Homo-oligomer: A and B are copies of this chain.
């Protein structure tokens, strides 16, 4: 992990418009003063389940996963987030300690604010509080909907769903490098690693996708969508 010494210009920050649209320039400058950036390499933890919550984070660049480990020591992946999506977290406003872990799935940059400062802003600036609420609601809504979708599908449908998720939502390309391992896909969809691998192989044999290690090319999107929906 790398604490950035770069003093960035928040007035130019893309996130500002989304996140701080009701913060005055003056407030923004204050926030900028206390803001810190940290860089994480793929695989590093950003937050560990059980950590005390005293910072407010958002993802500036990269890709992260939200996960939780079970009593048996296995991991369950709750969701993935890309920049703008990831406005701190579930449980930032409802708990003292994180209930989930967050780790970098790709090299990532996180902007960090003191949580009390953010809370104070929210308490003094109701429009900001509303914006925050909207963002948090959108994020949790997405998680709940996505989990429901996965839940109603069988193995093949779930794999198709994941491929489409990365293709359409994360990368917006039909060819991409899968940022996670087969095991992580399994942890996400609640199936075994072997079955994830087997299903990907099947899709390859059926010429629905091409596989070159981590690189995936979706060759027959129509069929993949169909499998995701009904298979």
- Residues of chain A at the chain B interface (Cβ within 8 Å): 68, 70-71, 74, 76, 78, 90-95, 99, 119, 122-127, 129-130, 132-134, 136-138, 140-141, 143-145, 147-148, 151-152, 190, 229-230
Contact = CB atoms under 8 A, between A and B. Distances in A.
A229 B99 CA distance: 18
Given A76-B148, A144-B140, A148-B76, A94 B125 contact: no
The oligomer's copy count stands at 2
Nearest to A138: B94
A90 to B, nearest CB: 6
19 contacts: A68-B148, A70-B152, A71-B229, A71-B230, A76-B152, A90-B140, A93-B133, A93-B134, A99-B145, A119-B130, A122-B126, A122-B129, A123-B127, A124-B126, A132-B133, A133-B133, A133-B136, A140-B140, A140-B144
A95 to B, nearest CB: 7
A37 to B, nearest CB: 25
B141 A133 contact: no
Contacts of A126: 122-126, 129
A135 to B, nearest CB: 8
Contact of A151 (B123, B152, B190): B190
A68 B190 CA distance: 21
A69 to B, nearest CB: 10
Contact of A136 (B74, B136, B144, B190): B136
Q: Which of A74, A92, A122, A130 has the most CB of B within 10 A?
A: A130
Given A78-B144, A122-B130, A126-B123, A137 B190 contact: no
